[in-house]
Structure 1
């Protein structure tokens, strides 16, 4: 009898510890700051939260400088030709038909520019496409019109749908958003169940589709991968800052394409382990 009492006490203590850990993890996840989200009227990129996103944004800046210089040069050249060689300024036009040095120059210079761009863009592309060893493996399936996630190493599976899917925003939906830790501003972005990953860990996602082509993307992570039925493709990221990041299906997939948001919550590794333990009971594969 005494041994049974001791066992019961240990069981209750373990259950209490697990419940406390789950509550702590849930509180920590709900208190996260929203970092990667679109802003009305804003220009530019969302904050970069991965090395991939920083590389892409830097490359975009480099290309912007190059095309700006080219555009200004061509515009200036057009203006000079219009002013210098119009009928009034140049009543007697030239009769030559070609200029070999100029023709060689306008062939060589674009080649040099393209080689220069390739020297910087190809390493960025290879870094995206060479999938490293992952710390967390998730299979993502695009459906009409929601996402399914399976943590393949941890026997977790759940569907993720937009909060208020198929409805106009109302008091009930606002209450549901607030209960999930969001505000009215996140309507159309927030999902009922979020992908949770640990900060500083390499996450490898295998992406596919169940019906039509979808596309999984998080702008702040610098990742985008089409979800093609019958095919498996991979992406990876390593988030460097805790917070909430939003994305959207980025491949036109049907009438409710606009209502397939993606929510990823990046948390402390200890919080992730607590969430994992609770999720294995709540969302068994």
Structure 2
């Protein structure tokens, strides 16, 4: 019986992934976080599941206590209310219990914060991301005699055909951009985040990487990540920044180191041509393209 069920599930999965592109993206009624692409996000996902082992029982216990109090101590069933002023055992329980729970939550929480805020000494790639209303500018640092900087705008529907990005399962509407940030897999990336001096506060957020940092005018913030798998990942500005806040996506394409070096060399001379060559090598090299996107504003 179980073997037949597993076989049916496997067949359904094959049919699902046979058409279009695989997208590990938000789905209707999704209850968990996005699939992780970095060690930090894997730790965040673990911590989220860990906290649920406390949140769910506490919620159910409080609900049960409320029901008991409403039923047992209602006016019709208990016309003479109790005059009990305190109970030593109960007071000890509701003092010691929360302290222990907070300690069990604090230890892994501090461990996660330490991992997030411990920056690698020698990052492989350094990029400066500058936000303005309503687009991003990426500047690759230490690229030798050929500096590389470009703007990244929301991809408009009328520009999809020219860009070769007509497949909306890979390049979703309102999340796809004209120029993605291209980075190598399994390399430490340092991102310097700021906003234009005369602009407003934005935020650089990439859910699958476990990254979210404010872009503040006149201030240089810093974050880092190391993507462990290739694919196309989407995020958004997550700080309300004006009327087009919801049209300021972030797209990062993670590729092999060889493809990254080839793209970097070509992009310094011909950015559109470099993207077309990279898309031909990545999108066309396999039937599916791994995609992660953030639908939250």
TM-score, normalized by length of structure 2? 0.77
What is the rounded CA distance, in whole Å, between the counterparts of 1:174 and 1:41 in structure 2?
Answer: 30
Q: Larger C-alpha radius of gyration, 1 or 2?
A: 1
Native 8 Å contact 2:160 2:166 kept in 1? no
Q: CA contact under 8 A between 2:174 and 2:249: conserved in structure 1?
A: yes
Cα distance in 2 for partners of 1:212, 1:195 equals 22
Gap runs ≥5 in structure 2: 1-20, 272-297
Tell whether the 8 Å contact from 1:34 to 1:243 is kept in structure 2 after alignment.
no
Check 1:216–1:34 CA distance in 2 against 1; reply closer, same or farther (3 A cut): farther
Does 2:63 align with 1:75?
yes
Is the alpha carbon distance of 1:97 and 1:41 closer, same or farther for their aligned partners in structure 2, counting shifts above 3 Å?
closer
Q: How many residues align?
A: 244
Partner of 1:201: 187
Contact between 2:34 and 2:208, CA under 8 Å: does it hold in 1? Answer: yes
Match of 1:18 in 2: none
Match of 2:168 among 172, 177, 183: 183
Report if the CA contact (8 A) 1:199-1:240 is conserved.
yes
Determine if the alignment matches structure 1 residue 113 to structure 2 residue 101: yes
Residue of structure 2 in register with 1:52 after alignment: 40
Is the aligned partner of 1:159 residue 2:151?
A: yes
1:104 match: secondary structure: helix
Residue in structure 2 matching 1:216, options 200, 204, 208: 204
1:140 matched to 2:125? The reply is no
Q: Does the CA contact (< 8 Å) of 1:202 and 1:237 recur in 2?
A: yes
1:226 corresponds in structure 2 to 214
TM-score by length of 1: 0.80
Gapped regions of structure 1 (runs ≥ 5): 1-32
Deviations 1:51-103 (A, max 9, x none): 11111111111112211110101111111222222233333332221223322
